[in-house]
Amino acid sequence: MTVSPLEAVKIVGIEPAWMPDAPIRIIVETASGKKGFKDVSISGTNIRGKRQYHKILDDFSISEIEMKAVADSRNKMCQEWRTFPAQDFAWQKARFGMTGAQIESAFGSEVKKNSIPDVYSGAYVLHKIPNLILAGQNFTVNFQMDSYTNCLSKILIAPAKEGTKLNSNSVEEIARQLEQALTEKYGKPQKLRDETTSFGVSRRLLWKNGTTDIELNLTIFSGSSVEPMFSLTYEPNNKKDSSKL
């Protein structure tokens, strides 16, 4: 994940990495919902003592048995998504648990396939709908696939990277219109976060639609040249329990 040096990110997890010389992986997330990671190396310059060094290596090492357990758990979850009621679509014609080929079949020429995937923590995006118009703005629909099972696990709708320049006023108006439309369709949202401070505005709203959680995220930085961040995500609600509108 490449972000501006001025872009705010938060640490959302720490997990084992894959390389012996960099055994710790820090998971970060932007306000728009995009996740990335940074593998942290350890050495005598930041870890005192050989004993402590080897203890950290042992604590953050992943065995083949543990990797298989994670894969088995993800496969079980993916199979559960595929048993969701027929009317419980994740977003439009998309259903959680779909393969890439099924996404292409469902959306036809609307969906475009990247030659190189966008990589997230535990997920990747190959398929996108690049020109979705919401509240008069151009958005991109990202179909996030679980890295272990290659099945659809999340839908991230975010402002298109090219040709869309958001400012505080426009992003607030977009959020207002989408909140109104989602509330009319799914009822009053749960406010997970609604803060206004000297640093800016941060809002996070949640709607539930059967087996799908719909979340709207908005962050605006006060007196800053950093572009506001906005995203709309659709996720299966059992995923959280276990770890066009």
Please check the confidence at residue 117 and state whether its pLDDT lies above 70.
yes
Is 104 within a domain?
yes
Query: What pLDDT digit, counting tens, does each position of 184-202 carry?
Result: 999 999 988 877 777 777 8
38 and 154 together in one domain: no
Question: Other CB atoms closer than 10 Å to residue 119's CB: what's the count?
Answer: 14
Q: Which domain holds residue 210?
A: 85-242
Question: Are residues 217 and 185 in contact, defined by beta-carbon separation less than 8 angstroms?
Answer: no
Q: Once rounded to an integer, what is the mean pLDDT over residues 213-222?
A: 87
Q: Of 239, 211, 220, 130, which is closest to residue 175 (Cα–Cα)?
A: 220
Query: What pLDDT digit, counting tens, does each position of 132-181 carry?
Result: 888 778 899 999 998 888 999 999 998 887 655 666 667 788 888 899 99
Is 67 within a domain?
no
Is 99 within a domain?
yes
**∠ CA 66-71-72 to the nearest 5 degrees?**
95
Is 76 within a domain?
no
199 and 131 together in one domain: yes
Average pLDDT, the chain: 78
Is 208 within a domain?
yes
**pTM of the prediction?**
0.69
Is 109 within a domain?
yes
